[in-house]
């Protein structure tokens, strides 16, 4: 299997990109290093959502709640307890996955839009806790100046930590999506009724996917804390959930890297266009309209298809992808 | 092998199935016929667990499966195809069948192992058997209508069923495709010892292929008998064959 991976052209590309990213802090300014780190966090969040939406076909409408739960868990443990820092960092994703399990267990009993509506309601309950429970969460002020272990403090250190963790998470996601579990998940997306008829327990499969997806969202939340040293209730607000949904659509929601690309575009738009005008979302709106008309499968969706056709022609019929 | 006893199912006030009885023996090719709305598809959905019956029993190999959910019924050895081509349109033909084979072998939840190396032989054999081998890399959604219906049967075969239920396997097919599909169904029954239960509107097909025919009208079983007996039965002629 390892040999397999080493031989694919996409592996060489990935290695080249990784190498370039490793070198960025040596020649780019601190600002750009920071922006890249923001792309990593947001991109990981978007990809964890896409695992459920693009590949799993779930109506995961309020995904950022799990991002927030991960961030708050880590932030609270680091800021308010004397427990070791690594414990806080590990607890974040686990808390997110547990929340995903509980909310998901209710949601998978419902179909499509009802799934989404219930998730928005249950997720908003958690948002309200973060917003109103002043004694614990400082309410709408959020928690700032969260202490970080020395190894992770400073923007370059944080950058490398994020790069390593995000790469590891993407590798894991890639393996999962290529496995029988991933193949079955896409089958559930395409046709849940047919899946039941071939003996797949659709609800359990979806719930397992939700636990995995929310785990990675929790990882993204923890990475946000490492990068920013703060958490605030907006991380759990539904507007962010919509934003990451847009990232998936923008980048290509039937592709693997698409959401990461979508996140990069959104972050770039907000940072660079946002510095000229407050109305940068106007440009986003125009981009989205054009996208829906001309590239309904997202930016990478198009590339992916023509590339795949070329590859299929090259491969003989006995090689099955 | 399969025994349906006085099954009933209502949707609010409408009695879709109102006393259906059915016997399917090992190796039989049983056809269910009846006018539109007679309850054939509902009956199949009840057997496969996609719907739960209000009354009556469904026995499969002596075991009561009346209230099992669909995915468990499938585990007992009953696979089905649907009336409308019911496939995974965004997956390749190969993947469509592979997903079903993986499920049969309890590998659906395996992570961290690449799926493209798993159950390749089994999947290819099935594609070979139904004649879809040339198209295994095509997206299932891009197949012709006839091939989609064949693919459906292939997906069902992935479950290594003992009883295969086909809901109008030739609906919307050209006469050539119909003949080819029914030849395939007969071959499967013969070569693999599959027991097959199907419903069909084309009377020529039914009387040529079936070893036993069950006639339904308004949710009720009128009779189940051999093709000759059914042909001679007057009630049936009035109900369905237009008194011909």
Tens of pLDDT, residue by residue over B91-123, are: 999 999 999 999 999 888 888 888 888 899 999
Flag if A181 and B108 touch (Cβ within 8 Å): yes
Say whether A143 sits in a helix, a strand or coil: strand
pLDDT at position B16 over 50: yes
Q: How, if at all, do strands B2-11 and B14-24 pair?
A: antiparallel
Among A271, A265, A233, residue whose Cα is nearest residue A246: A265
pLDDT at position A307 over 90: no
pLDDT at position A268 over 50: yes
pLDDT at position A312 over 70: no
pLDDT at position B235 over 50: yes
DSSP A244-299: HHHHHHHH-TTSSSHHHHHHHHHHHIIIIITTT-TTHHHHHHHHHHHHHHH-TT-H
Flag if A198 and B74 touch (Cβ within 8 Å): yes
- Report the residue from A186, A193, A198 with minimal CB separation from B91: A186
Among B19, B47, B33, residue whose Cα is nearest residue B212: B33
The count of structural domains within chain A is 1
ipTM of the complex: 0.82
What is the mean predicted confidence (pLDDT) over A42-49?
Answer: 96
Among A214, A216, A222, residue whose Cα is nearest residue A75: A222
Phi and psi at residue A199, in whole multiples of 5°? 90, 15
Flag if B88 and A187 touch (Cβ within 8 Å): yes
Lowest mean pLDDT among A58-62, A258-262, B60-64, B232-236: B232-236
Tens of pLDDT, residue by residue over B170-211, are: 888 888 888 888 888 888 888 888 899 998 888 888 888 889
Q: How far is CA A80 from CA A93, A241, B234, in A?
A: 18, 28, 85
Among B184, B157, B159, residue whose Cα is nearest residue B169: B184
Chain B interface, best mutation among A5, A178, A194, A308, by max B CB count within 10 A: A194
pLDDT at position A200 over 60: yes
Per the CB < 8 A criterion, the answer to whether B115 and B134 are in contact is no
Find chain B residues with C-beta within 8 A of A180's C-beta. 102, 107-111, 113, 115, 118
Query: What is chain A's mean pLDDT, rounded?
Result: 87
CATH, residue A124 = 1.10.3470
Tens of pLDDT, residue by residue over A164-196, are: 999 999 999 999 999 999 999 999 999 888 898
Tens of pLDDT, residue by residue over A226-267, are: 999 999 999 999 999 999 999 998 888 888 888 999 999 999
pLDDT at A316: 39
Length of chain B in terms of residues written: 244
Work out the minimum CA distance from B177 to partner chain A, whole angstroms.
Answer: 23
Compare all CA atoms of chain A with the CA of B94 and give the residue at the minimum distance: A320
pLDDT at A321: 37
Among B214, B222, B164, residue whose Cα is nearest residue B31: B214
Among B43, B54, B121, B128, residue whose Cα is nearest residue B80: B43
pLDDT at A320: 38
Instruction: State the virtual CA torsion across B200, B202, B205, B209 in degrees, nearest 10.
Output: 30
Full residue range of the structural domain in which residue A265 is found: 2-320
Pair of tokens at residue A56: 């799993």
Pair of tokens at residue A250: 């923008």
Query: Residue B244 and residue B238: Cα distance in Å, rounded?
Result: 8
Flag if A196 and B71 touch (Cβ within 8 Å): yes
Find chain B residues with C-beta within 8 A of A168's C-beta. none
pLDDT at position B29 over 80: yes
Show the CA angle centred on residue A13, arms to residues A257 and A212, nearest 5°.
35
């Amino acid at each position: 299997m390892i040999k397999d991976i080493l031989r694919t052209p996409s592996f060489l590309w990935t290695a080249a990109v990784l190498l370039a990213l490793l070198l960025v802090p040596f020649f780019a300014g601190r600002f750009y290093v920071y922006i890249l780190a923001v792309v990593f966090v947001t991109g990981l969040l978007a990809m964890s959502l896409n695992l459920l939406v693009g590949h799993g076909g779930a109506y995961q409408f309020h995904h950022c709640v799990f991002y927030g739960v991960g961030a708050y868990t880590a932030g609270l443990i680091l800021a308010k307890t004397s427990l070791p820092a690594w414990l806080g960092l590990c607890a974040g994703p686990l808390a997110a996955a547990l929340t995903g399990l509980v909310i998901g267990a209710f949601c998978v009993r419902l179909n499509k839009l009802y799934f989404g509506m219930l998730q928005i309601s249950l997720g908003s309950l958690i948002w309200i806790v973060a917003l109103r429970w002043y004694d614990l969460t400082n309410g709408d002020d959020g928690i700032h100046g969260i202490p970080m272990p020395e190894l992770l403090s400073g923007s370059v250190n944080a950058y490398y930590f994020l790069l390593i963790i995000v790469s590891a998470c993407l590798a894991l996601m890639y393996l999962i999506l290529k496995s029988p579990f991933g193949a079955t998940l896409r089958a559930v997306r395409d046709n849940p009724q047919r899946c039941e008829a071939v003996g797949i327990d659709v609800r359990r499969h979806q719930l397992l996917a939700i636990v995995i997806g929310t785990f990675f969202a929790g990882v993204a939340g923890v990475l946000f804390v490492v990068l920013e040293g703060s958490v605030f209730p907006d991380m759990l607000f539904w507007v962010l959930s919509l934003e990451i949904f847009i990232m998936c659509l923008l980048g290509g929601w039937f592709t693997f890297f698409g959401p990461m690309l979508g996140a990069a575009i959104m972050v770039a738009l907000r940072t660079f266009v946002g510095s000229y005008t407050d109305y940068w979302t106007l440009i986003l709106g125009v981009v989205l309209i054009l996208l829906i008309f001309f590239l309904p499968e997202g930016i990478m969706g198009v590339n992916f298809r023509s590339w795949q056709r070329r590859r299929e022609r090259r491969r003989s019929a006995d090689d099955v992808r | 092998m399969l025994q349906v006893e006085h099954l009933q199912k209502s949707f609010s006030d409408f009695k879709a199935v109102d006393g259906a009885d059915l016997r399917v023996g090992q190796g039989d090719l049983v056809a269910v016929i009846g006018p539109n709305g007679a309850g054939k598809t509902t009956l199949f959905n009840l057997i496969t667990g996609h719907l739960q019956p209000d009354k009556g029993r469904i026995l499969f190999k002596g075991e009561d499966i009346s209230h099992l959910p669909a995915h468990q019924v499938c585990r007992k050895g009953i696979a089905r195809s649907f009336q409308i081509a019911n496939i995974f349109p965004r997956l390749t033909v190969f993947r469509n069948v592979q997903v079903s084979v993986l499920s049969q072998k309890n590998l659906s939840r395996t992570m961290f192992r690449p799926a493209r190396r798993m159950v390749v032989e089994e999947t290819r054999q099935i594609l070979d058997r139904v004649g879809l081998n040339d198209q295994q890399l095509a997206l299932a959604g891009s197949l012709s209508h006839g091939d989609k219906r064949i693919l459906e049967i292939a997906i069902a075969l992935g479950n290594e069923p003992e009883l295969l239920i086909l809901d109008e396997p030739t609906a919307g097919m050209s006469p050539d495709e119909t003949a080819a599909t029914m030849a395939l169904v007969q071959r499967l029954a013969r070569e693999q010892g599959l027991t097959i239960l199907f419903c069909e509107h084309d009377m020529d097909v039914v009387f040529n292929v079936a070893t036993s025919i069950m006639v339904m009208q308004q949710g009720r079983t009128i009779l189940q008998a051999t093709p000759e007996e059914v042909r001679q039965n007057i009630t049936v002629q009035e109900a369905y064959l237009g008194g011909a």
